[in-house]
């Protein structure tokens, strides 16, 4: 029996660990308050792998009957970063356009003088 090679990564609220065992079978994962254990058999020779990890803090035990549907998986954190980035760019563009107090001078738009377009139109018959 020897430990399985593993990779880990984390997100804001979670830590993920992937155990890299080819042709694994009889996989067992056991969660306790401050540690968890992984074991399995591998290959045609049924080589046994086992890992136990002590944690710094207690964990909320996970539901062993619930698993991730990777066929429908979507990494929402990546999307939210992109959406926020798009929103930031949109906000920046809108800010560059200026607000009401920064309207451009429209060359005499405030003049009360008559304009050729303001002539009275004849009545319709």
3-state helix, strand, coil in the chain (%, to 5): 25, 30, 45
Q: How confident is the model at residue 97 (pLDDT cuts 50, 70, 90)?
A: low
The pTM of the full predicted model, rounded to 2 decimals, is: 0.47
Q: What is the pLDDT of residues 19-38, one digit of tens each?
A: 999 899 999 999 888 998 99
The CATH architecture annotation of domain 1-71 reads: Sandwich (2.60)
d(CA 69, CA 74): 10
In the chain, where the domains are located: 1-71
């Amino acid at each position: 029996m020897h430990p399985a090679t593993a990779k880990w990564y984390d997100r804001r609220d979670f830590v993920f660990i992937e155990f890299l065992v080819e042709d694994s079978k009889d996989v067992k994962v056991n969660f306790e308050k401050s540690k968890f254990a992984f074991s399995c058999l591998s290959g045609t020779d049924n080589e046994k792998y086992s890992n136990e990890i002590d944690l710094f803090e207690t964990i909320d035990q996970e539901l062993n009957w619930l698993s991730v549907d990777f066929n429908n998986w979507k990494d929402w954190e990546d999307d939210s970063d992109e959406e926020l980035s798009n929103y930031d760019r949109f906000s920046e563009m809108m800010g560059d356009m200026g607000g009401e107090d920064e309207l451009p001078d429209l060359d005499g738009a405030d003049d009360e003088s008559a304009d050729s377009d303001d002539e009275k139109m004849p009545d319709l018959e």
